[in-house]
């Protein structure tokens, strides 16, 4: 029997996992489970994908939709999305390709350029790179200082180093490589950091822009999960032209990567008012201190309504309003 009320769908909230962001994912999962229950969903279960019985619980649970509250490797990079596709279980947020591309920063940058979105200049270093002093000198001559060194595929600023001296570069590359495989070295764009959430599938729209205020060298993992009131300025203090341009670029990024449901693109706005994109998060954080829920609240969308909307978007265009057994149609 087809379900016409989305709250009658059985929802599996997927969280946890094995990445550096496991704890954050568990927090997101708990928050989303509570919000979905508050929104009236009759059956919501939290599943840790790292649990030995995860596959059995997912298969035996007769879930109509999976709510993906995962971050980092295996959860945000297309892996869990591929599993859900094989099992024909509809799921929230982006599909396999968009998830993989969004995680691979160098690939995403190529798509941003094609879409006319400004990006920082940078170099993608292959797996196993160990910089010699001559190589470090050449990189600095090419890109200048300061530089940001980061894993080519990781999130929440894990493994990111701000390099201000050539002598620091080799160690920064080694640190980033320990958090991933390839390493991205980029020019440090100075200015105001903002983030722009976008919601939707075929007709995405930007939510209020969040300006991120902080005193540290950059918006690192520690700062990201401090209370939102300490760092979030909504709406961002930008002139109207810059604000509209940043919103437009975020929607372009969402489309360029092929995102569904939601994305959140991070930018630096230069002193000249030019938004330069840093990355797009295909599964933004969903804790009480996270940027996306804070932006949505300022748009009049409470957290339970936001989570309900994500389930609706997951089912949109899939020929189902809620499956009956083992998930709906892919």
**One domain, residues 107 and 224:** yes
* DSSP letter for each residue of 211-226: EE--SSSS--HHHHTS
Out of 73, 260, 264, 309, the active site residue is 264
Mean of the per-residue pLDDT values of the chain: 90
**One domain, residues 66 and 140:** no
Out of 15, 16, 19, 21, the active site residue is 21
Q: How far apart are the first and last CA of the chain?
A: 18
Residue 319 domain-assigned? Answer: no
pLDDT over 90 at 224, yes or no: no
Q: Is 266 a catalytic residue?
A: yes
Which has the minimum average pLDDT: 87-91, 138-142, 173-177? 173-177
**One domain, residues 199 and 159:** no
Out of 85, 124, 225, 273, the active site residue is 225
3 state SS of 167:
helix
Q: Is 220 a catalytic residue?
A: no
Out of 281, 290, 308, 328, the active site residue is 281
C-alpha separations of 104 from 5, 109, 233 in Å: 37, 9, 29
Give the span between the Cα atoms of 83 and 89, in whole angstroms: 9
pLDDT over 80 at 229, yes or no: no
Residue among 77, 66, 28 nearest 322 (CA) = 66
What's the pLDDT score for residue 1?
38
What's the pLDDT score for residue 204?
98
Contact 51, 97 (CB under 8 A): no
Contact 183, 144 (CB under 8 A): no
Contact 276, 119 (CB under 8 A): yes
- What CATH number does residue 53 fall under? 3.40.50.20
Residue among 105, 115, 46 nearest 281 (CA) = 105
Bridge partners of 15, per DSSP, are 48
Q: Is 159 a catalytic residue?
A: no
| Mean pLDDT confidence for 150-171 | 85
φ/ψ of residue 90, rounded to 5: -55, 150
Which has the minimum average pLDDT: 134-138, 261-265, 288-292? 288-292
The alpha carbon of 113 is separated from its chain's Cα centroid by a whole number of angstroms, namely 19
Give the span between the Cα atoms of 146 and 103, in whole angstroms: 24
Structure tokens at 92: 């929230």
**One domain, residues 111 and 131:** no
Q: Is 201 a catalytic residue?
A: no
φ/ψ of residue 267, rounded to 5: -135, 160
| Mean pLDDT confidence for 8-23 | 95
Residue 229: which residues within 8 A CB-CB, separation 6 or more?
none
pTM, to two decimals: 0.89
How many domains does the chain fold into? 3
The dihedral sign for the CA sequence 207, 211, 212, 217? positive
Residues 245-287 have pLDDT tens digits of 999 999 999 999 999 999 999 999 999 999 999 999 999 999 8
**One domain, residues 211 and 231:** yes
pLDDT over 70 at 324, yes or no: no
**One domain, residues 201 and 295:** yes
Out of 266, 295, 323, 328, the active site residue is 266
Contact 231, 214 (CB under 8 A): yes
Residue among 236, 245, 240 nearest 295 (CA) = 236
| Mean pLDDT confidence for 233-241 | 97
pLDDT over 60 at 89, yes or no: yes
Q: Is 225 a catalytic residue?
A: yes
Bridge partners of 185, per DSSP, are 123, 149
Give the span between the Cα atoms of 322 and 89, in whole angstroms: 10
Give the span between the Cα atoms of 100 and 259, in whole angstroms: 11
Out of 279, 308, 309, 328, the active site residue is 279
Out of 102, 285, 323, 327, the active site residue is 285
**One domain, residues 76 and 198:** no
Residue 147 domain-assigned? Answer: yes
pLDDT over 50 at 322, yes or no: no
**One domain, residues 203 and 104:** yes
* Containing structural domain, residue 254: 100-119+189-303
Q: Is 285 a catalytic residue?
A: yes
| Mean pLDDT confidence for 229-251 | 93
What's the pLDDT score for residue 153?
78
Residue 321 domain-assigned? Answer: no
Which secondary-structure segment (H or E) carries 14? strand 10-15
| Cα-trace Rg, the chain | 20
Residue 96: which residues within 8 A CB-CB, separation 6 or more?
78, 81, 82, 85
| Mean pLDDT confidence for 238-245 | 98
pLDDT over 50 at 320, yes or no: no
Which has the minimum average pLDDT: 108-122, 125-139, 233-247, 268-282? 125-139
- What CATH number does residue 126 fall under? 3.30.1490.20
Out of 28, 94, 99, 156, the active site residue is 156
**pLDDT tier for residue 184 given thresholds of 50, 70 and 90:** very high
Q: Is it true that the peptide bond before 93 is cis, omega within 30 degrees of 0?
A: no
**One domain, residues 217 and 283:** yes
Residue 311 domain-assigned? Answer: no
pLDDT over 60 at 85, yes or no: yes
**One domain, residues 291 and 215:** yes
- What CATH number does residue 256 fall under? 3.30.470.20
């Amino acid at each position: 029997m087809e379900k016409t009320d989305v709250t009658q769908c059985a929802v599996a909230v997927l969280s946890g996992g094995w990445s550096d962001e496991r704890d954050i994912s568990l927090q997101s999962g708990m928050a989303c489970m509570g919000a979905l229950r508050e929104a009236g969903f009759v059956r919501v279960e939290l599943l840790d994908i790292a649990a030995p019985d995860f596959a059995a619980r997912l298969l035996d649970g007769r879930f109509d939709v999976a709510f993906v509250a995962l971050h980092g490797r295996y959860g945000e990079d297309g892996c869990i999305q591929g599993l859900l596709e094989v099992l024909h279980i509809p799921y929230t947020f982006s599909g396999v390709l968009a998830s993989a591309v969004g995680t691979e920063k160098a690939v995403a940058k190529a798509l941003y350029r094609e879409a006319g979105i400004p990006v920082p200049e940078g170099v993608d270093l292959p797996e196993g790179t160990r910089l010699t002093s001559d190589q470090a000198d050449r990189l600095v001559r090419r890109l200048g200082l300061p530089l940001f060194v980061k894993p080519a595929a990781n999130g929440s600023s894990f493994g990111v180093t701000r390099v201000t001296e050539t002598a620091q570069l080799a160690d920064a590359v080694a640190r980033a490589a320990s958090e991933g495989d390839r390493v991205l070295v980029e020019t440090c764009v100075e200015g105001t950091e903002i983030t722009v959430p976008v919601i939707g599938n075929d007709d995405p729209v930007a939510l209020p822009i969040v300006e991120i205020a902080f005193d540290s060298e950059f918006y690192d993992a520690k700062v990201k999960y401090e209370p939102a009131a300490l760092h979030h300025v909504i709406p961002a203090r930008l002139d109207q032209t810059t604000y509209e341009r940043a919103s437009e670029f975020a929607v372009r990024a969402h489309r360029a990567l092929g995102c569904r449901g939601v994305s959140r693109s991070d930018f630096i706005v230069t002193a000249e008012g030019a938004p330069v994109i840093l990355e797009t998060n295909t599964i933004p954080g969903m804790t009480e201190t996270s940027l996306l829920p804070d932006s949505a609240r300022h748009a009049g969308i409470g957290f339970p309504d936001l989570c309900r909307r994500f389930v609706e978007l997951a089912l949109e265009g899939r020929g189902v309003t809620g499956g009956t057994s083992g998930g709906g149609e892919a």
